[in-house]
Chains A and B, each alone.
Chain A
Amino acid sequence: MALTQEQRESVQAAALQTRIDTIRMVHAAECGHPGGPLGMADFMATLFMRHLDLTPENRHAANRDRFILGNGHTCAGYYSLLSQKGLIPREMLLTFRKMGSLLQGHPHLNHDLGIDFSTGSLGNSLSAALGMALAAKHNGWDARVYSASSDGESQEGQIWEAATAAAHYGASNLTVLVDFNNVQIDGYMRDVMNVRDLREKYEAFGWHAVDVDGHDVDAIDAALVAAREETERPSALICKTLIGKGVSFMENQPGWHGVAPNDEQATTALLELGVSADEVMGMIAADK
């Protein structure tokens, strides 16, 4: 069922807030990874706002949905969404990556904040997500387990160990959203190490797999609905995205994988994201 105009605008507003927060957090930290979260913002917002059953009230419940951020370096956007869902205090966002902050440079398990697992080392996420999915089935919970991964992370062999096992165990309650932006640290993925067609690969491993426009929130929502209806196979959404989406000078630029914008660049970025000039001045000052 298509999203109503109101639903669509709500998800898009969450995605926009994710992009604004990402720029501010990485700018304030003077280090971090802006490109990934900007590209993932639309599918992450769709997942978090419309599907992931995680609230301040149920954060400590055993049988709620789970989420693991496999490409942990993109956590600025993840923290923003947890904040928008009321799990992370807004004022904590600007402590990101700073000494003593709970918002570590890569996520650290903290159920108070709704962070379900520790990640950062690429390749480990899908195994842990499978373990959670098996635990949910073992306990008779109808909870779903979601993980975000990436084309770069798909170069790790452990992903395919986990993909094999997830299909073998019929982990239909597991859904992975792969951020396929064709960019990794050392350059374009097709030049560094081409992982080729991930939909075909996941299908060959026994998964329900679909390609999705990673910026089309209606398509993403429909794919997540279809994944919920799967009763035998785990699901993979290969989300085709543009790294840096929404900030023109970051789009499709490998250089913005892991570099913080300076004051001028952050200003330009926030203006492009539709923040008013007055507000941007206040934000740049507050970030310091």
Chain B
Amino acid sequence: MSAPPLLAPLATGEPKNEATRNAYGNALLELGEANPEIVVLDADLSGSTKTKAFSKAYPKRFFNMGVAEANMIGVAAGLASQGLTAFASSFAMFATGKAYEQIRQSVCVPNLNVKVCATHAGLTVGEDGKSHQMLEDVTLMRVIPNMKVMVPADAVEARQCIHAAAKIEGPVYVRLSRASTPIVFADSYEFVFGKAALLREGTDLAIIAMGVTVAPAMEAAEALAREGIQARVLNMSTIKPLDVEAITRAASDCGAILTVEEHQENGGLGDAVAQAVVLNHPVPMKMCAMHDQFGQSGTGDELLAHYGLHAAGITASAKELMKRKGA
């Protein structure tokens, strides 16, 4: 089964790698030029979150708030209440962990135009270890009313998610990564907010993935195909609002769903999909995720492999799920 044209030509030569945080920095520059209402805040991590380029290009529209994330989000809310669109960045651990209350009370309650774009999410932060591997951010963000949540699969999609975030009225959370990861999409790909992207057709099971685990999920699907198992692969880059229709169709067509994320299963993509499945079309499910555990130091690839989130781990989980499906 051939890949739809939206995919990058992975088969032809070396796959290209780029971090989604780089795409964020580039997208901010584009937005800054096009829209004078865009302001950017950071908490002493502008080199790492890639907001530094914006700070150089538009110094009057950039506010470094120092190592004080709660205040950064509150100030972003104040700026947004005056008609500006505020992008606020730090590492996912601090942006959503330290400033959860400010995101809820000062941004989401008054429904303000603050875009929390957090980098260094998930296991693939790597060697910094568990204190910096934010594995609960999607959970925290998706449960707040008014908040919208996006997790781009690669740099191509990340750029479009940032542009979409700028257009959306109200609060948005975008989960971005530190690691340089494979480009999944062709340049011609068009991200649609709130819609899952069908990456691969198949009806034996559906693999629904988000973020940097979409690439290994695709690899797993190819490996399964070589064994005669045709997996449908959905890139669920909008976690909220969730594309319930695509999930229900996948459950109905495939009869089994595997979710994949470098995030806790509790409250994460797996939980969100499970809710949609249970309410609409119950089928056997399995979740490749962090199972109520913290990470540890290691390279991103080592960590993904250790926790079964690499292609081989996803392939093995898919086969276990197929047994439960009774195929």
Contact = CB atoms under 8 A, between A and B. Distances in A.
Interface in B41-95: 60-61, 63, 65-66, 68, 70-84, 86
A109 interface: yes
Contacts of B63: 134, 169
Contacts of A135: 78-79, 81-84
A165 B74 CA distance: 12
Interface stretch (B105-113, B186-194, B206-214, B224-232): B105-113
A112 to B, nearest CB: 14
B74 A134 contact: no
Contact of A131 (B61, B70, B78, B109): B78
A168 B82 CA distance: 21
Interface string B16-54: 000000000000000000000001000000000000000
Contact of A127 (B39, B60, B73): B73
Given A62-B83, A127-B70, A165-B68, A118 B75 contact: no
Interface residues of B, number: 29
Contacts of A127: 70-75, 77-78, 102, 106
A164 B68 contact: yes
Interface in B295-323: none
B60 A165 contact: no
B68 A128 contact: no
B101 interface: yes
A124 B106 contact: yes
B78 A129 contact: yes
A108 interface: yes
Nearest to A141: B82
Contacts of A168: 66
Q: Which of B73, B82, B105, B106 has the most CB of A within 10 A?
A: B82
A117 interface: yes
A158 interface: yes
B102 A124 contact: yes
Nearest to A125: B74
A234 to B, nearest CB: 13
Nearest to B101: A121
Contact of B60 (A123, A138, A158): A138
Contacts of A139: 82
Interface in A89-125: 108-109, 116-121, 123-124
A117 B74 CA distance: 11
Contact of A165 (B66, B102, B105, B110): B66
A216 to B, nearest CB: 30
A123 B61 CA distance: 25
A134 B78 contact: yes
Interface string A153-178: 00001100110110011000000000
Contacts of A121: 101, 105
B81 A116 contact: yes
Contact of B80 (A119, A123, A131, A162): A131
A26 interface: no
Interface in A128-155: 128-136, 138-139
B102 A158 contact: yes
Contacts of A130: 71, 74-75, 78
A120 B104 CA distance: 12
Q: Which of A108, A129, A139, A161 has the most CB of B within 10 A?
A: A161
Contacts of B71: 127, 130, 158, 161-162, 164-165
Given A128-B81, A132-B82, A138-B39, A165 B106 contact: no
B78 A128 contact: yes
A131 B110 contact: no
Contacts of A134: 63, 75, 78-79
A132 B70 contact: no
Given A109-B110, A117-B110, A138-B60, A131 B79 contact: yes
Contacts of B106: 117-118, 124, 127-128
Contacts of B105: 118-121, 124
Contacts of A123: 70
Given A117-B81, A127-B78, A134-B75, A108 B61 contact: no
Contacts of A169: 63
B185 to A, nearest CB: 35
B240 to A, nearest CB: 21
Nearest to A147: B78
A139 B68 CA distance: 25
B110 A108 contact: yes
A249 B171 CA distance: 46
A253 B128 CA distance: 51
7 contacts: A108-B109, A108-B110, A134-B75, A135-B83, A136-B82, A161-B68, A161-B70
Given A118-B109, A131-B80, 4 more contacts: A109-B109, A128-B106, A130-B78, A138-B39
Interface of A: 62, 66, 108-109, 116-121, 123-124, 126-136, 138-139, 157-158, 161-162, 164-165, 168-169
**Which 5 A-B pairs rank lowest in CB-CB distance, beginning with the nearest?**
A131-B78, A127-B74, A135-B82, A161-B71, A161-B68
